[in-house]
Structure 1
Amino acid sequence: MELCETYRIPHSQLMGAAGGRWTALDREKALAWAAYRRDVCEGCGTRPQEWDPEQGGDRQAYVAQTHRCLGCELIEMEQEQVPSGAEGRGVRIGLLAQPR
């Protein structure tokens, strides 16, 4: 469904059906996907139901794992150089691949 959302196509078309028309089932799947996505925490990517035993979840559903992204580290280091106030407003740092 994520690919369907990205390419704005019905699920049946993704699965090989000709025509590209949205069926009732395609619409149901798209609405269910949208509801699922609304329920996902932007911070950690989990859903409340995954943690709630009364909804089939488990309080120990996940464990935290530390990960260091060197790209994020580089962006944060560069962001520290951006001036505060009006001069730094709207400044965003991105990564560009170095030619090899």
Structure 2
Amino acid sequence: MCPQCQTRHDDWDHGGPDQEDAYAATVQLCIGCQVLADKQQSLARDRGEDIHGLKVALIPAAHAAALEVEREQQARHRRHGG
């Protein structure tokens, strides 16, 4: 089995041009994958080569908002000597 496409050699047409293959290639757009790739590209552009080890992940918007509030509170606390 191919580790990349997960098909077996025997799944493909070995009988000639008039026989159909067991698979057909299709193109699908995944918005999540597109958003991840866009974010990775912007990080690479903004940070240059300094993106090694950075992981881009999708999290629920409500969770992201809560994390942002928490970061702001921590920054405010540090600024005021807390």
Q: Which amino acid aligns with 2:27?
A: T
Q: Work out which of the two has the higher radius of gyration on C-alpha atoms and give 1 or 2.
A: 2
Alignment RMSD? 2.3
Higher relative contact order at CA 8 Å, sep ≥6: structure 1 or structure 2?
A: 2
| Residue 90 (str. 1) matches residue 43 (str. 2) | no
Cα distance in structure 2, aligned partners of 1:72 and 1:89: 19
The runs of 5 or more residues in structure 2 that have no matched partner are 64-82
Q: Stretches of 4+ moved more than 4 A in 1?
A: none
| Residue 50 (str. 1) matches residue 11 (str. 2) | yes
Contact 1:71 1:95 in 2 (8 A): yes
TM-score, normalised to structure 1, is 0.47
TM-score, normalised to structure 2, is 0.55
Q: Which amino acid aligns with 1:69?
A: C
Cα distance in structure 1, aligned partners of 2:58 and 2:33: 9
Contact 1:53 1:59 in 2 (8 A): no
Q: Percent identity?
A: 25
